[in-house]
Chains A and B, each alone.
Chain A
Amino acid sequence: MSPPVLTFDQPHPFPGKLIIVEGLDGSGKSTQLQLLQKWLDSKGYNVFFTEWNSSELVRETTRRGKKSKALTPTTFSLLHATDFANRLYHDILPPLKAGMLVLADRYVYTAFSRDAVRGVSPMWVRKLYNFAIRPDMAFYFKVPIEVAIDRLLGGTRAQFKYYEAGMDMGLSQDITESFRIFQSRILAEYDKMVSEYGFITMDATKDIEEQQNDMRQLVSKALENYRPKRGTHGKRALFWRRFDLPKSE
């Protein structure tokens, strides 16, 4: 009845590949991952994309909890773990088992860093996510805090969000200042994890194309021995889009 237990401390045994990106808000990681997906699509790979905190079941609850500001560090952490579990089971494991490529925008490391900064025991969070699959490649887009703030304030987001700025922690009344303190602490946690989890560190202050070129080179090298699998031939990307529209940017 019980399948073998997969744990996070060993490589996964599946034929697919899991590539994830991590970094602060405003580090440009999502842009890079989308560009990578475009490139992989164009090469004929069957690529699946999944994003942090996006499963329908949990998203609604998280939104409600955030709105009423009723989330504690522990419930915040557990809700994200539930979301992750749900996506792992539905969106990540099936394509990996079938031998396809999965791209994830943020992964368990987001929880490791954020939850630790919020005051949850770092050991506990790691044990909590022990059911996760270890990624084949983990890119960390490293950016100084000021650059991240400039990008966010100068871009589409004129105002930081309450939890994103760590306002629940009472660091500062000023939301920008709170964001700065909170994200600096997250940055410190990320830096600590680089060697612990073998992140590939990317200089996120470089030009977008330059970073993307570096990323594509590293990915092609990692995929050298990978045999892509797919169930359809011909106009591949179009074919399955009829069934499931991928996120358009």
Chain B
Amino acid sequence: MGNGHYFGDGLTYLNPSDLKGRLIAIEGTDGVGRSTHIEMLQEWLEVQGYGVLTTGWTRSSLMSKTIEVAKQGNILDRWSFSLLYATDFADRLEHQIIPALRSGFVVLADRYIYTALARDVVRSGDPTWIRNVFGFAIVPDLICYLRIDVDTLALRVIESKGMNFWESGMDLKLGADLYESFKKYQSLLIEEFDRMAEEFHFEVVDARKPPDEIQEALRAKIEPVLKTGRLTQPSTGQPAKASSAS
């Protein structure tokens, strides 16, 4: 990281320039296989001696319960929906991600702000507000986007855990049943991800391939990011060289 910076209006009380670790975001729509690959990546990195922190969407101690309650049907208007996720993210950013980066960890984020951007834009059509809200996010060193087409995705989700209400965007009433709604909603999300892939320079990985090929592709993208710049390898017990960043 070394020269960490914020996405927009950042945390004025936290200077991100001395973050030594690496922040790697794995993005992609629901059911694309992110968690499996992150587990494998963590194993791979730890064997090499890197300290690894994984952090996932809605897993903050502050918000995870609240979000569960909200999903039971107590809201959701577009703003509350997005702000709940933003609060969860902020809590993890300040309590997990930034401290870990400061100590030189490799942080693997199972989804990052781009998921929130996609979900909000699909619901509102307004890309500006949500980008401003997430202005305090640290820009990752690498964003890997697991890209899939909606037909393959539908098959995969049905074969594994099945389609659920929120992953089908049922609140948007896009289709007559779960399947139709899932396909329409996920198509919109994928479209939005594709747009962002250019805007934010995602590294695209074809998620239709067999798992070992996907894993290999991910590792090939991550490897150079680990090597460039100043990364602390906790196994050596040596502190990182002083950062030259201002």
Chain A residues proximal to chain B, CB less than 8 Å: 1-2, 5, 56-58, 60-61, 64-65, 70-75, 78-79, 81-82, 85-86, 88-90, 119-121, 123-124, 127-128, 130-131
B79 within 8 A of A: yes
Query: Roughly how many angstroms separate A61 CA and B60 CA in the complex, as a whole number?
Result: 12
Point out the residues of chain A lying under 8 angstroms from B9, CB to CB.
121, 123-124, 127
B162 within 8 A of A: no
Query: Roughly how many angstroms separate A81 CA and B80 CA in the complex, as a whole number?
Result: 8
A57 near B87 with CB under 8 A, answer no
Point out the residues of chain A lying under 8 angstroms from B75, CB to CB.
57, 86, 89
Map CB proximity to A onto B53-74 as digits: 1 under 8 Å, 0 otherwise. Answer: 0000000011101100110001
Query: Roughly how many angstroms separate A2 CA and B61 CA in the complex, as a whole number?
Result: 33
Least CB distance, A78 to chain B, in whole angstroms = 4
B129 within 8 A of A: yes
B8 near A74 with CB under 8 A, answer no
Which chain B residues in 98-122 approach chain A with CB under 8 Å?
A: none
Least CB distance, A112 to chain B, in whole angstroms = 14
Given contacts A5-B124, A57-B69, contact A78 B90 (CB under 8 A): yes
Please name the residue on chain A nearest to B174 by beta carbon: A1
Query: Roughly how many angstroms separate A124 CA and B63 CA in the complex, as a whole number?
Result: 21
B84 within 8 A of A: yes
Query: Roughly how many angstroms separate A73 CA and B87 CA in the complex, as a whole number?
Result: 11
Least CB distance, A166 to chain B, in whole angstroms = 14
Map CB proximity to A onto B121-137 as digits: 1 under 8 Å, 0 otherwise. Answer: 00111100100110110
A130 near B12 with CB under 8 A, answer no
Chain B interface residue count: which class? 35 or more
A127 near B132 with CB under 8 A, answer yes
A119 near B79 with CB under 8 A, answer no
Quick one: which of B12, B66, B69 contacts A119, CB cutoff 8 A? B12
B19 within 8 A of A: no
Given contacts A89-B80, A124-B9, contact A61 B66 (CB under 8 A): yes
Query: Roughly how many angstroms separate A1 CA and B95 CA in the complex, as a whole number?
Result: 37
B70 near A57 with CB under 8 A, answer yes
B66 near A78 with CB under 8 A, answer no
B11 within 8 A of A: yes
Given contacts A70-B61, A73-B13, contact A2 B126 (CB under 8 A): yes
B135 near A124 with CB under 8 A, answer yes
A128 near B132 with CB under 8 A, answer yes
Which 9 pairs show the lowest CB-CB distances between chains A and B? A2-B125, A85-B79, A124-B9, A89-B77, A127-B132, A82-B83, A78-B87, A119-B13, A121-B9
Least CB distance, B74 to chain A, in whole angstroms = 5
Point out the residues of chain A lying under 8 angstroms from B70, CB to CB.
57
Quick one: which of A60, A75, A123 contacts B87, CB cutoff 8 A? A75
Given contacts A57-B74, A82-B83, contact A75 B136 (CB under 8 A): no
B133 near A75 with CB under 8 A, answer no
Query: Roughly how many angstroms separate A128 CA and B130 CA in the complex, as a whole number?
Result: 8
Please name the residue on chain A nearest to B121 by beta carbon: A2
B31 within 8 A of A: no
Quick one: which of A74, A82, A89 contacts B84, CB cutoff 8 A? A82
Query: Roughly how many angstroms separate A2 CA and B123 CA in the complex, as a whole number?
Result: 7
Least CB distance, B202 to chain A, in whole angstroms = 24
